[in-house]
């Protein structure tokens, strides 16, 4: 059976690429610390030596649209083009092409459907910065095949937080029952408190540092019960109008397991939103 | 009122550089043109198939013509779609990094929780 060699959860900050690649005179003052933290975080995935990446993220109204909006969708394609014109325009993100692993995609779809998750699928999916940001930060060679899993954290009505956790648990079980000798890393990105297009956007910190502190504690301890006890679809409006992206972190907590503390935790207080980085090693910390 | 149609406008213009420039240069001419040409297109369907019932009301039309993202927010247009499109049109006019984004926040500073419902 396949092995889950790393579970990685992260924010996805689309400005990282520009901040880290700009000429020295144009780099923002926080760029060096940010790059240093990303290089350490990258090492946590590298040392797990994965062969394939399951990538959890959320389309930002790029390919998925309100006339036909899936709640949870698994890509099943041999290749995924990546990044869109408005992401080039606003963030300077490069166009990319990633390979897919259709066998693992089919395994997740078949077993997910049989486990009660009515997963949508796509045979032609162009992925956006929720998945390419962690490729850029964690695996810039972009050399591993991926299976994208998209969640709807953006277009209400949304699934409940408990459903994200349940899908995370199911993804972990399904990967571990995949008849393969490949080493799989499950990588997902979400948000801490975040405001987009509202009065609290682009402040010197995230819009709700107290929520961020609680969120980092829930994730780093694997405190799923604590998170589910406080987080609701209604409550997530208060920390910031785009904070429903925290449910992707809750999905990743489901992947990592109840009360399973992360093996690696780091964060960086930035303008607009806090960055946070977590890695778990289900097989033990690699030597 | 159709939050869906407002979002469809923001979505289709934001993803097309030519439409974005036309909306920036001549909103009074562009918005009626978009409503006639685009409002009833089903984006995932063959071009020959279309809807027949989608139209803006006067308040929506005026807010779009006036590039009035504050009113769009108050009407429940999706904040991410509006932000991305207006950054695409106006960020270039500001010298300071995030200058437009911070002005956008200031213009919405009278908004308190709960924000207008964005469900469609």
| Residues of A with Cβ-Cβ distance to B119 under 8 angstroms | 156-157
Secondary structure of B36-105 as H, E, C letters: HHCCCECCCCCCCCECCCCCCCHHHHHHHHCCCHHHHHHCCCCHHHHHHHHHHHHHHHCCCCCHHHHHHH
The number of angstroms, rounded, from the C-alpha of A207 to the middle of its chain's C-alpha atoms is 20
Share of chain A above pLDDT 90, in %: 97
Give how many domains chain B has, as a whole number: 1
For testing contact with chain B, the best of A67, A198, A233 (most B CBs within 10 A): A198
Task: Judge whether B91 lies within some domain.
Answer: yes
Task: Judge whether B64 lies within some domain.
Answer: yes
Q: Cβ B118–A65 below 8 Å, yes or no?
A: no
Task: Judge whether B57 lies within some domain.
Answer: yes
SS3 at position A50: coil
The complex's ipTM? 0.95
Q: How far is B11 from chain A (nearest CA, A)?
A: 7
CA distances from residue A224 to A12, A55, A105, A213, A231 in whole angstroms, order as listed: 21, 21, 26, 15, 10
Whether A201 contacts A273, CB under 8 Å: no
Q: Residue B52 and residue B41: Cα distance in Å, rounded?
A: 9
pLDDT in tens, A1-43: 999 999 999 999 999 999 999 998 889 889 999 999 999 999 9
| Residues of A with Cβ-Cβ distance to B105 under 8 angstroms | 198-203
Any CB–CB contact under 8 A between B12 and chain A?
Answer: no
Radius of gyration of chain B (CA): 15
The number of angstroms, rounded, from the C-alpha of A175 to the middle of its chain's C-alpha atoms is 17
Q: What local confidence, expressed as pLDDT, does residue A24 receive? A: 87
Q: Is the dihedral of CA A84, A159, A147, A40 positive or negative?
A: positive
Place A287 in a pLDDT band, splitting at 50, 70 and 90: confident
Of the candidates A144, A130, A106, A160, the residue with the CA atom closest to the CA atom of residue A6: A144
Q: Cβ A237–B114 below 8 Å, yes or no?
A: yes
Q: Residue A106 and residue A112: Cα distance in Å, rounded?
A: 10
SS3 at position A261: coil
Any CB–CB contact under 8 A between B36 and chain A?
Answer: no
Of B44, B80, B110, the CB nearest to A196: B80
Of B11, B44, B105, the CB nearest to A201: B105
For testing contact with chain B, the best of A156, A197, A200, A234 (most B CBs within 10 A): A197
pLDDT in tens, A115-151: 999 999 999 999 999 999 999 999 999 999 999 999 9
pLDDT in tens, A166-205: 999 999 999 999 999 999 999 999 999 999 999 999 999 9
Tell the CATH topology of A3-280. Protocatechuate 4,5-dioxygenase; Chain B (3.40.830)
Q: Cβ B120–A201 below 8 Å, yes or no?
A: no
Residue-range definition of the domain harbouring residue B20? 3-40+53-107
Any CB–CB contact under 8 A between A158 and chain B?
Answer: no
Q: What local confidence, expressed as pLDDT, does residue B31 receive? A: 98
Residues 6 or more apart whose CB falls under 8 angstroms from that of A214 comprise: A230
In a structure prediction context, what are the per-residue pLDDT tens digits for chain B, which is 120 residues long? 699 999 999 999 999 999 999 999 999 999 999 999 999 999 989 888 999 999 999 999 999 999 999 999 999 999 999 999 999 999 999 999 899 999 999 999 999 999 999 999
Any CB–CB contact under 8 A between B52 and chain A?
Answer: no
Task: Judge whether B119 lies within some domain.
Answer: no
CA distances from residue B78 to A114, A180, B42 in whole angstroms, order as listed: 34, 42, 19
Please provide the average confidence, as pLDDT, over all residues in chain A. Answer: 97
Whether A122 contacts A189, CB under 8 Å: no
Q: What local confidence, expressed as pLDDT, does residue B1 receive? A: 66
CA angle A237, B68, A271 (to 5 degrees): 45
pLDDT in tens, A209-268: 999 999 999 999 999 999 999 999 999 999 999 999 999 999 999 999 999 999 999 999
Q: How far is A278 from chain B (nearest CA, A)?
A: 26
The number of angstroms, rounded, from the C-alpha of A254 to the middle of its chain's C-alpha atoms is 13
Q: Cβ B14–A156 below 8 Å, yes or no?
A: no
Q: What local confidence, expressed as pLDDT, does residue A238 receive? A: 97
Q: How far is B116 from chain A (nearest CA, A)?
A: 10
Q: Cβ B105–A199 below 8 Å, yes or no?
A: yes
Query: Tokens 């969120």 map to which residue?
Result: A215
């Amino acid at each position: 059976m396949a092995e889950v060699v790393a579970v990685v959860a992260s924010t996805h900050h689309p400005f990282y690429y520009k901040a880290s690649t700009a000429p020295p005179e144009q780099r923002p003052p926080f760029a060096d610390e940010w790059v240093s933290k990303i290089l350490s975080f990258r090492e946590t995935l590298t040392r797990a030596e994965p062969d394939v990446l399951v990538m959890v993220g959320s389309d930002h109204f790029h390919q998925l649209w309100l006339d036909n909006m899936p709640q949870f969708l698994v890509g099943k394609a041999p290749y995924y083009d990546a990044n869109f014109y408005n992401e080039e325009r606003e963030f300077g993100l490069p166009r990319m092409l990633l390979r897919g692993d259709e066998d693992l995609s089919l395994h997740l779809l078949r077993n997910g459907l049989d486990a009660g998750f009515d997963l949508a699928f796509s045979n032609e999916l162009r992925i956006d910065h929720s998945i390419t940001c962690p490729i850029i930060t964690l695996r810039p060679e972009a050399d591993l095949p991926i299976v994208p899993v998209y969640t709807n954290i953006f277009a209400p009505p949304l699934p409940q937080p408990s459903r994200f956790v349940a899908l995370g648990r199911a993804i972990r079980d399904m990967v571990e029952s995949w008849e393969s000798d490949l080493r799989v890393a499950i990588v997902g990105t979400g948000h801490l408190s975040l405001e987009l297009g509202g009065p609290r956007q682009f402040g010197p910190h995230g819009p709700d540092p107290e929520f961020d502190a609680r969120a980092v504690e829930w994730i780093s301890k694997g405190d799923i019960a604590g998170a589910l006890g406080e987080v609701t679809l209604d409550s997530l409006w208060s920390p910031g109008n785009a904070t429903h992206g925290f449910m992707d972190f809750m999905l990743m907590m489901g992947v990592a397991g109840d009360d399973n503390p992360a093996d690696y935790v780091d964060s960086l207080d930035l303008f607009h939103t806090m960055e946070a980085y977590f890695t778990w090693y289900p097989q033990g910390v690699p030597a | 009122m159709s939050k869906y149609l407002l979002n469809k406008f923001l979505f289709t213009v934001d993803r097309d550089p030519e439409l974005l420039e036309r909306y920036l240069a001549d909103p009074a001419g562009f918005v009626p043109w978009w409503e006639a040409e685009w409002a009833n297109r089903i984006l995932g369907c063959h071009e020959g198939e279309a809807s027949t019932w989608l139209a803006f009301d006067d308040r929506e039309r005026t807010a779009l013509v006036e590039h009035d993202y504050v009113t769009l927010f108050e009407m429940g247009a999706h904040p991410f779609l509006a932000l991305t499109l207006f950054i695409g049109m106006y960020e270039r006019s500001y010298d300071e990094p995030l200058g437009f984004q911070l002005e956008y926040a200031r213009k919405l500073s009278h908004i308190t929780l709960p924000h207008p419902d964005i469900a469609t």
